[in-house]
Amino acid sequence: MSGQIDAKLKELGITLPTPPKPVASYVPYVVSGNLVFVSGQITLGPNGLEYVGRVGREFTVDQGKEAARLCAINLIAQLRDACGGNLERLKRVVKVTGFVNAHEGFGQHPEVINGASDLFVAVFGDKGRHARAAVGAGSLPRNVAVEVEAIFEIA
C-alpha cells in the first residue's frame, strides 16, 4: 500500500529494510490499543552492523546523528510491519528514547539523537514531532554507537 508517507520516503531516497527478527527473548513491537511500542532498534544497515564504537571516540557527533537516523529508518520499518504495510495509519510519533554509546565526558547526546528526531519530522511532518529523552550509556548491545526506541499512535 502506498500513499503520502511512502512518496516522502522515496523523495528522501529511503528504502525501508525488511525488519530484522529479534536476537533475544522479546518481540520487535507490541500493539496495545492504538499505540505501537517498538523495541530499541540499533544501527543495522544493508551490510550488517554499522557504527560500532563510541560517539566522542570512534565517531563524531555528525556520525552519531547518521547512526541515529539509521535507527529511525529501522523503527519506521518495524512500524510499517505493525501497520500491516500501511504507514498512512500513523497518527503521531508519541515518544522517542535514544541511547548514545558515549565516551566518558561526552555531553552532546541530544544533538546525536536529533538524527532520529529530524528524520521523523522529515518523513511524517507535524505528526513526527514527539516527546523525547536522549541518554548516554557506557555501552550498548553489540557495541553499537546508538539505539533508539519509539512509541507511535496509529488509527
- pLDDT for residue 23: 80
For the chain, how big is the Rg over CA atoms in Å? 15
Q: For the chain, how many structural domains are there in total? A: 1
pLDDT tens column, 29-88:
999 999 999 999 999 999 999 999 999 999 999 999 999 999 999 999 999 999 999 999
Residue-wise DSSP of 32-89:
ETTEEEEEEE--EETTEE--BS-BTTTB-HHHHHHHHHHHHHHHHHHHHHHTTT-GGG
Q: For residues 4 and 110, what is the distance between their CA atoms, to the nearest angstrom? A: 29
- pLDDT for residue 24: 87
The CATH number of whichever domain residue 38 belongs to comes to 3.30.1330.40
Question: Residue 28's domain spans which residues?
Answer: 4-154
Average pLDDT over residues 13-27: 92
Q: For residues 26 and 29, what is the distance between their CA atoms, to the nearest angstrom? A: 9
pLDDT tens column, 79-132:
999 999 999 999 999 999 999 999 999 999 999 999 999 999 999 999 999 999
Please tell me the pTM assigned to this model. 0.97
Task: Give residue for cell 512518496.
Answer: 7
